[in-house]
Structure 1
Amino acid sequence: MTSDPTPTPATTSAAPADPLLAELLGLAREAGRRAGVLLRDGRPDDLAVAHTKTSAIDVVTEMDIAAEKLITGFLAEHRPDDGFLGEEGASSTGTSGVRWVVDPLDGTVNYLYGLPTWSVSIAAERDGETLVGVVEVPLRGETFHAVRGGGAWLDGGAGGGAGAVATDGAGRRLAVRPSPELGQALVGTGFGYLTDRRAHQAEVAHRLLPRVRDIRRGGSAAIDLCDVAAGRLDAYYERGLNPWDLAAGVLIAREAGALTGGRAGEPASGELTLAASPGLFGTLQGFLEESGAWHD
């Protein structure tokens, strides 16, 4: 059903045995922690829009820029030969084969308005394959993380949702909820900032809403994907995501047992991103295809 197979996760430890993966995970977690502290504690009372991107409501604040500089600076100090792809402009090829994909503030509008649903998303990839993903959610006190083949884990917070399993010394290992029927599914989604795209996304949501338990729109794709991993959502879909929006979260969801992808047989992408418990994935993917959720 998807070109992103679900690996068999580790059962006893969140620490990867591969020294490279252990290094990448440790650096991503520390960079995410530092950026989270900066964003949480350094937010000015008079925070304003620094500039806009795709439209007048697609905003960037000075804190987005500062957080990306902190993250890329920290990672470059420890791994100077790696490449970068960042939402706020960081772009370099590198020579090591490893590239960091960084969203320094996923949920900028929430952050601008003082809402708590925002995150820092950091992924490390090699040869186009995401190896490590970290999503820091400072106002929840949570850090989600995964290494390819090593399971998905949650540190901090009040609990990991219905699918969390407590493990001593390794945080809480995450697992998706048992698959419901579509009519009992709680589904997350998001909307883009281009007028025509938003109008069509509203039409798709209008068609989906009577068919599911309910729809949630949180405002941070990275958190929504992690909430699928934690059993807080049964599924999440969205059109228009960028690599930095989805790289870490898709890995975390998949390592928790979700199926992930886009249109049938294709990986998650800007065209369409979908993560769902295995028994729900195909049904929801079929509905989204029929509804044209993959185009504007």
Structure 2
Amino acid sequence: MSETLQTADVATSDADLLDQTAVALRAAGTALRERFGEVVRYETREEMMHALADNDGAALDVLRPRLTSLRPEAGWVEDELAGGALPDGEWWVVDPAEGNVNHLHALPEWAVTATLVRDNQPVLTVVHLPLTGETYTALAGAGAHLDGRPLRVSSTADLGLGIVATSQARPDEDEAVVQRVGSSITAMLFDALVVRTSVPATLHLVNVAAGRIDAFWQFAGARADLLPGALLVTEAGGRISDAEGRPWTPQSESFLAVAPGIHAGAVATLSR
């Protein structure tokens, strides 16, 4: 078989896999939506962690068997807060309840995400928002879409006219990272039009891919909260780098997803 035909076969297979992954995430989203509505009260960190785990478990009970059946040989990243490179081969990087703490507090900003990584490159990703029914998808080399409609990042060329956003990578972050986050927000408050700060990262990143906001940055972070948005933004025509403008990898200490026209300006601001 020729190399061209082999490539075409892989592309077709990945496109079919993307569709089936989206079906699995919608089913998991239904399970989480049925648990949503009232604020979940807790008095201790232990009680909070138990409630978070219950949500994760409800989604994983649906996701794990379905995604495993789609790619039986693929590994499964157990720790959604983990970072760094993965071993070679295929891996499912899944966040069963991205923005889980929002779900507990009856806030609408949460999602279900799954990304297939092949030899440390994201191949496909699905982000499903159960409350709105929206499904964002991206396939490497084939574009990013919202419910089948192509996505495109904004054409903004002036950071001073841009809406930008950042997110807290994780609770109990290292003090140096917290200080850097605070300094970056202050810098952006001077240079950008509007600064948004909230969790989770993925929901900011789908907005960058859709052209609704112009940039998102974060210090530290995990594979599960950055890989889906990285592929969506790249396939929508955006720029991905670290905060200093260098190529981003899961080992990087910072992350920037931005409309190309303001990449240099955003890097300059974040590098101060």
* TM-score range for the pair, normalised by the shorter chain length: 0.7 to 0.9
Superposed counterparts of 1:222-237, under 5 Å = 222-237=202-217
Identity of aligned residues (%): 31
**Residue equivalent to 1:194:** 172
Runs (5+) with no aligned partner, structure 1: 1-15, 156-170, 291-296
Higher helix proportion (structure 1 or 2): 2
Superposed counterparts of 1:56-135, under 5 Å = 60-87=52-79, 97-135=89-127
Does 1:267 pair with 2:259?
A: no
**Residue equivalent to 2:193:** 213
Alignment TM-score, normalising by the size of structure 1? 0.77
**Residue equivalent to 1:285:** 267
Post-superposition offset of 1:217:
2.1
Contact in 2 for aligned 1:50/1:60 (Cα 8 Å) = no
Q: Secondary structure at the match of 2:52?
A: strand
Equivalent position amino acid for 2:161 in 1: Q
Contact in 2 for aligned 1:123/1:132 (Cα 8 Å) = yes
- Residues 49 and 78 of structure 1: CA distance in aligned 2, closer, same or farther (over 3 Å): farther
**Residue equivalent to 2:4:** none
Post-superposition offset of 1:180:
3.0
1:109-139 Cα shifts (integer Å, max 9, x gaps): 2111101011111101111111101111112
Post-superposition offset of 1:268:
4.6
Does 1:246 pair with 2:239?
A: no
Post-superposition offset of 1:45:
4.2
Q: Secondary structure at the match of 1:60?
A: helix
Post-superposition offset of 1:52:
5.7
**Residue equivalent to 2:133:** 141
Contact in 2 for aligned 1:117/1:218 (Cα 8 Å) = no
Post-superposition offset of 1:46:
6.7
Q: Secondary structure at the match of 2:245?
A: coil
Q: Secondary structure at the match of 1:140?
A: coil
**Residue equivalent to 2:36:** 43
Distance 2:249 2:103 in 1: 26
Does 1:183 pair with 2:160?
A: yes
Contact in 1 for aligned 2:124/2:231 (Cα 8 Å) = yes
1:187-209 Cα shifts (integer Å, max 9, x gaps): 01112422523343123212221
**Residue equivalent to 2:5:** none
1:44-90 Cα shifts (integer Å, max 9, x gaps): 7474669969xx89x83411232133212211133221111144599
Q: Secondary structure at the match of 2:263?
A: helix
Alignment TM-score, normalising by the size of structure 2? 0.84
Runs (5+) with no aligned partner, structure 2: 1-8
Higher mean Cα deviation, 20-29 or 229-238? 20-29
Post-superposition offset of 1:96:
9.8
- Residues 48 and 75 of structure 1: CA distance in aligned 2, closer, same or farther (over 3 Å): farther
Q: Secondary structure at the match of 2:77?
A: strand
- Residues 180 and 49 of structure 1: CA distance in aligned 2, closer, same or farther (over 3 Å): farther
Q: Secondary structure at the match of 2:142?
A: coil
Distance 2:255 2:45 in 1: 24
Post-superposition offset of 1:177:
1.0
Contact in 2 for aligned 1:64/1:88 (Cα 8 Å) = no
- Of 166, 172, 182, the match for 2:149: 172
- Residues 44 and 240 of structure 1: CA distance in aligned 2, closer, same or farther (over 3 Å): same
Distance 2:241 2:191 in 1: 21
